Amino acid sequence: MIRITLVLCLLGAGPAEAADRPSRDSIGVMREGVNAYMGARFDDAVQFLSEAISMNPGWKTAAGFRAICLWTTGDLEGARADAKIASRMRPNSAESYTARGFAYFVLRDLDAASDDFVAAARRGRNYAPAYFGMGSVMSSRERLRDALTNLDIAVKLEPNSAAIRIVRGTVYEKTREFRRAVKDYGRVVKLAPEFQWARYYRGRAYRELKEYPKAIIDLSAFLKHNPDFEKALYFRSNAYFLSGNYTSAVDDLSHLVALNPKHGLAYANRGVARHELGDKTGALTDLEKAKGLLPDKAKKIQAQIESFRSEPLEAEESQGAGLAERAPVPPRPVVRPQDIPIQPLPDELPEDKPRFSVQREEPKKKKKGSPPAKFPGEVTPDSEDEEGGDFMFIQ
Return the domain boundaries, the chain: 228-355
How confident is residue 39, by pLDDT bands cut at 50, 70 and 90? confident
- The distance of Cα 183 from the centroid of its chain, to the nearest Å, equals 14
Q: Is the pLDDT of residue 370 over 50?
A: no
Q: State the virtual CA torsion across 175, 176, 180, 184 in degrees, nearest 10.
A: 80
Q: Provide the total of helices (H) and of strands (E) in the chain, helices listed first.
A: 17, 0
Q: Is the pLDDT of residue 237 over 90?
A: yes
Q: Is the pLDDT of residue 80 over 90?
A: yes
How confident is residue 311, by pLDDT bands cut at 50, 70 and 90? confident
How confident is residue 72, by pLDDT bands cut at 50, 70 and 90? confident
pLDDT for residue 342: 38
Residue type, 129: P
Q: Is the pLDDT of residue 61 over 50?
A: yes
- The distance of Cα 106 from the centroid of its chain, to the nearest Å, equals 17
pLDDT for residue 20: 62
How confident is residue 140, by pLDDT bands cut at 50, 70 and 90? very high
> 111-138 in b/e burial notation, b at 16+ Cβ within 10 A?
ebbbbbbbbbbebbbbbbbbbbbbbbbb
CA–CA dist 169, 195 (Å, integer): 15
329 vs 68, residue with greater confidence: 68
pLDDT for residue 395: 23
pLDDT for residue 314: 53
Residue-wise pLDDT for 312-362, tens only, equals 755 444 444 333 344 444 444 444 443 333 343 333 333 333 333 222 333
pLDDT for residue 4: 42
Q: Is the pLDDT of residue 38 over 70?
A: yes
End-to-end C-alpha distance for the chain, whole angstroms: 7
User: Taking a C-beta distance cutoff of 8 angstroms, is the pair 168, 139 a contact?
Assistant: no
Lowest mean pLDDT among 21-30, 100-109, 373-382: 373-382
User: Taking a C-beta distance cutoff of 8 angstroms, is the pair 327, 304 a contact?
Assistant: no
Q: How many CB atoms lie within 10 A of CB 332?
A: 14
Q: What is the CATH number of domain 228-355?
A: 1.25.40.10
Quick check: helix, strand or coil at residue 370? coil
Q: State the virtual CA torsion across 384, 390, 391, 392 in degrees, nearest 10.
A: 70
User: Taking a C-beta distance cutoff of 8 angstroms, is the pair 11, 127 a contact?
Assistant: yes
- The distance of Cα 161 from the centroid of its chain, to the nearest Å, equals 16
Angle CA 347–133–110, to nearest 5 = 70
10 Å CB burial of residue 150 (0-12, 13-18, 19+) is buried
pLDDT for residue 254: 97
Contacts of 389 (CB under 8 A, 6+ apart): 155, 180, 183, 184
Quick check: helix, strand or coil at residue 391? strand
Angle CA 305–310–313, to nearest 5 = 105
Residue-wise pLDDT for 163-211, tens only, equals 899 999 999 999 999 999 999 999 999 999 989 999 999 999 999 999 9
Contacts of 49 (CB under 8 A, 6+ apart): 30, 33, 34, 62, 65, 66, 69
Beta-ladder partners of 322: 318
Q: Which of 3, 24, 327, 9 is nearest to 160 (CA)?
A: 9
> 199-210 in b/e burial notation, b at 16+ Cβ within 10 A?
bbbbbbbbbbee
Contacts of 372 (CB under 8 A, 6+ apart): 114, 117, 118, 134, 137, 138, 146, 150
pLDDT for residue 284: 95
CA–CA dist 90, 100 (Å, integer): 9
> 279-315 in b/e burial notation, b at 16+ Cβ within 10 A?
bbebbbebbebbbebbeebeebbeebbeebeeeeeee
